[in-house]
Structure 1
């Protein structure tokens, strides 16, 4: 108890440990469909699909893959936004013993080629509008099969009739030549049996998912997650959300399922407790607010940028957000100011968690209804232990001191696909070395300072971008802020702030500098400010700090050419 002080902070309802079932991850859906066949599993823009109907389609997909010759351990790429087809393909792949490779629909051909060739996927499920991009990416190694769907395939009337007109207007219209190797999704299901199928898996060793990490530097690595990794993390998240009601919760599914955060806290978790997923194919703030107002979701996991978009919407007060009870924020640090304003607006709880793809992804979260601490990522999940160690020696740091966060638990990956050296560096004696700088307080709450690689060293001082960002976010006129270190011949690095102001704001660089000087040590105050209309982000809403640094480096290169 003394070595794991966070256990004292657990609510009485949350067990310290749990016996996780060793099963195929898709059993969550099979079991919920048996108990609640007529309950709504998916609500896709008004089209409602029951658990019974969803499972029937999943069995059809699994049997159809089986007919194509797919066997246990084969990789199936799924490149879709949040839609019923993605859910069907994901669980169908798992039931036939396949490994899902979730692929971002925004990827350019170079990224698609890397992911599909690296994973060895020979079949892809994708949208008609993306077929051209996939073909271009894979022209040197064509796919064995492409299973192609359209958004309109699962839209209710009259949206399904109107969709092609909208697609044409948006430049998303597509002509697909179907044939032996290019198969229409609906026919693929229709011509298949809905007989139950479940290939036996060794849950602790067999992979359910190869999930590629961001790859902001070089090519992305494939994280190998077993059925047991994902089953454990889904249940851990559920134990934390102990007031949830079976077959009652409605999940606003705005986080994409091709990101492991959305996959675990939305898709897998909703299937586990027979919840309803309100599918949002693309985060668009007006549509999201209308959906909350009309559909009354109770759970809204998201990234900080999603909550920022809500609190800064000019007409937010005209929407009823009171149905939202629980929000867990991940993928990036949650500014305290954003948390407080969102809770005031909605009346729900917005709590920060922490995770990484290599841990399925969640390892820590703040309590939802019990003690929590602002600016903290919270405490480790059940069966999860965490330590702060010296980055070079691996020795545990004294309490309160800064070091690298390492974690161990049933959700920690098996390793990186075909990368034994990277696996060896990241996994040591069962411990996952996160690369994040953190500290732990005497009650077991953890605080992330920053990624090791994001640390700014200016004039010999260590500066943590998150600390500076928190101060900038507190300014009433700042909508978004990110801080990065840029090259400086004298100090090594300078602190630069990239700012998105609220509409109509007249705040100047001088105003912000003065604001920061009152709240930060002088060496932490940004020296340079750049005002922008938007910040580069991933689809999950994580700000791409590396992209900003790359822009700066490009400017330096161009400047040196001019000087020459």
Structure 2
């Protein structure tokens, strides 16, 4: 039960599960996995291949010795960029066990984006799939700190890329051995570096510590928290995304039977729910819209579903009601969080939560709503910037003290989101200070697309905003000022971005040529004016 004192909300105490007694994340994970015995932990929904906890444990131990053979030491970084697959989980957990840092990367990154992101975390070794392999290999050849690149797929045609099987199946690697992770300073030791886009340009590296993860697991084990242990759960959320990665870790710790897919495909997704009698699925709003509206949904038996957990972007009450009416799922919950807060900060606790609410504060956390001008904490039903404090708050952005200091002040994470809490301590998001475009589950920084477009010799000025879209949330839309006398089409602008940026950054919302970009006296783009123009398409500049 949440309480408030001096306009600071406390989510309440939780019942500790003993997770925090461990001296490293790896020691907890190995002990936990051993405890699941011969239970099936993972099912590849494409192939039907099942993996037991014992099989997973043995594979992780073998992978630990592979990393040791590669001279991966405590605090070294291991890069990962792949669609969801079993060996991805193996490498991830083995990395934790040697107290190294895992750095997951978006598989759709362009070579330019990989170059930036890899140079943030500087991995010593890298594991990838066929899709991004060539782009990763090109970046690796330019950076001698990246010693080895391995590919999960049975492919050896990429220069400088080694098939994963050559490593994991090496007869010189110990078999049947065991391993005891070394104690470490869990509060300081970074377990994950996930890429989170900022408003000022290219991605930032969010450092999530072992303690951040251990404390999040501990609170999730609370009897009153949503627990998915021992039931069939479907995951199609990419594991390189913070939402996907952290829920993967949580499911493993709870002994969930996790059915996974490498990517979303309509018939495969629905077929997996039907075949494996999935009871809970991790979702994002575009997938929820698909369940609510697509005609193919009616061809499948989805009656096993008892709960859908939606995150990464707001979910409308209309979509939620449409799904309940169509397929009869009794419980739909959504939460609010960001990479900098490890997983979720608020979550809907039950069906009584109000429409539009993102739920109540997670246990063990503190929250306040502050006046954006004075910084003063505000009371109930007063709108201001949402700030959070607790054991889940990131260590900071790697190599970026200025951005870290701007985001975390006196232990409080300043989200940049505008919201309020009501008399029942339910939180609502109403606007955001940040200018990020929310495309599906991805955060798209307009400044990055603008910087890219300004390299085009026919473009004089540009501004990018999010165009509202029911299925995707928002679509990147560009207002472009041509160079004097330039001959440039909208399609050329869209093609230029598509050729030089990852898929979420494509200008799916469109392009509009204007005479000037509205700015304030200091030169800051007035995005509010541009968003109003999208609502009134006949407006001109």
**Count of residue pairs brought into register by the alignment:** 460
Establish whether residue 360 from structure 1 lines up as the match of residue 342 from structure 2.
yes
How far off is 1:321 after superposition?
Answer: 1.5
How far off is 1:209 after superposition?
Answer: 0.5
For residue 268 of structure 1, the aligned residue among 217, 239, 249 is: 249
For residue 146 of structure 1, the aligned residue among 143, 146, 149 is: 149
For residue 189 of structure 2, the aligned residue among 200, 206, 209 is: 206
For residue 169 of structure 2, the aligned residue among 190, 204, 228 is: 190
How far off is 1:225 after superposition?
Answer: 0.5
> Which residue of the partner structure matches residue 515 of structure 1?
none
Establish whether residue 372 from structure 1 lines up as the match of residue 366 from structure 2.
no
How far off is 1:362 after superposition?
Answer: 0.8
Provide TM-score, normalisation by structure 1.
0.74
Residue aligned with 1:21, SS: helix
Aligned-partner Cα distance in 1 for 2:206–2:467: 32
How far off is 1:235 after superposition?
Answer: 3.4
> Which residue of the partner structure matches residue 490 of structure 2?
none
- Alpha carbons 1:28, 1:268 under 8 Å: kept: no
Aligned-partner Cα distance in 2 for 1:202–1:258: 25
| Change in 2 beyond 3 A, CA 1:451/1:240 | farther
Aligned-partner Cα distance in 2 for 1:498–1:105: 25
Establish whether residue 416 from structure 1 lines up as the match of residue 392 from structure 2.
no
Cα root mean square deviation, aligned: 3.5
Residue aligned with 1:88, SS: helix
My pick for the range that moved more, 312-321 or 118-127, is 312-321
How far off is 1:233 after superposition?
Answer: 1.9
> Which residue of the partner structure matches residue 94 of structure 2?
92
- Alpha carbons 1:402, 1:438 under 8 Å: kept: yes
| Change in 2 beyond 3 A, CA 1:40/1:392 | same
> Which residue of the partner structure matches residue 65 of structure 1?
67
For residue 235 of structure 1, the aligned residue among 213, 218, 222 is: 218
For residue 347 of structure 1, the aligned residue among 292, 304, 329 is: 329
Runs of 5+ consecutive residues of structure 1 not aligned to the other structure: 154-172, 456-464, 467-483, 485-492, 503-535
> Which residue of the partner structure matches residue 15 of structure 1?
14
Establish whether residue 396 from structure 1 lines up as the match of residue 377 from structure 2.
yes
How far off is 1:3 after superposition?
Answer: 2.6
Residue aligned with 1:202, SS: coil
| Change in 2 beyond 3 A, CA 1:241/1:268 | farther
1:16-165 alignment runs, 5 A limit: 20-23=19-22, 24-27=24-27, 29-44=29-44, 45=46, 46-142=48-144, 143-150=146-153
My pick for the range that moved more, 98-107 or 14-23, is 14-23
Residue aligned with 2:194, SS: strand
Residue aligned with 1:235, SS: helix
Provide TM-score, normalisation by structure 2.
0.77
Runs of 5+ consecutive residues of structure 2 not aligned to the other structure: 439-445, 447-462, 473-496, 519-539
| Change in 2 beyond 3 A, CA 1:250/1:7 | farther
Residue aligned with 2:185, SS: coil
- Alpha carbons 1:255, 1:301 under 8 Å: kept: yes
For residue 449 of structure 1, the aligned residue among 430, 439, 444 is: 430
> Which residue of the partner structure matches residue 526 of structure 1?
none
How far off is 1:501 after superposition?
Answer: 9.0
How far off is 1:500 after superposition?
Answer: 6.1
